[in-house]
Amino acid sequence: MMISSFQIGQSHKISAPISVGDVEHFVGLSGDAAPLHTNADFARKAGFEGPVVHGAFLIALVSRLVGMHFPGPNAVLERIDVSFRKPCYAHCDVELNASVR
C-alpha cells in the first residue's frame, strides 16, 4: 500500500503471531538472553505469568508496520515513543494499529 499523503483518521493494522521459537531466534539475533525473557521460574518470581517477549522484538513489529504497510516500503521510521503497559507472552498474536491524528 503506497500512500503519498496522510489524512486525519487514516489507519492501518497488522497482526503478527509470536511463537516461543520466534523469541528464541530473537535471543540469538540480539544476544539478549536476560532471564526475564528466557527463564519461566525467574519471570514468575518477578511477578509475570512466564517469560516476557522482548520490547525490542515488539518495536521491530512497529518497524514492519511503518516500513512495509503504513505508509509503505519508502517510509523511514524516524522517532518512536513507546510504553509497555502490558506484558506479552509467547505464543500469542499481537495486533498493531496505526492512525493519523
pLDDT in tens, 34-78: 999 999 999 999 999 999 999 999 999 999 998 898 887 878 888
Cα–Cα distances in Å, from 9 out to 6, 12, 77? Answer: 9, 10, 19
Between 92 and 80, name the one with better pLDDT. 92
Predicted TM-score (pTM) of the model is: 0.86
Cis bond leading into 51, ω under 30°?
A: no
The pLDDT of residue 90: 95
- Does 100 have pLDDT greater than 50? yes
Rounded to whole angstroms, how far apart are CA atoms 14 and 94?
Answer: 8
Cα angle at 63 between 59 and 67, to 5 degrees?
175
Q: Among 88, 90, 31, 95, which Cα is nearest to 69's? A: 95
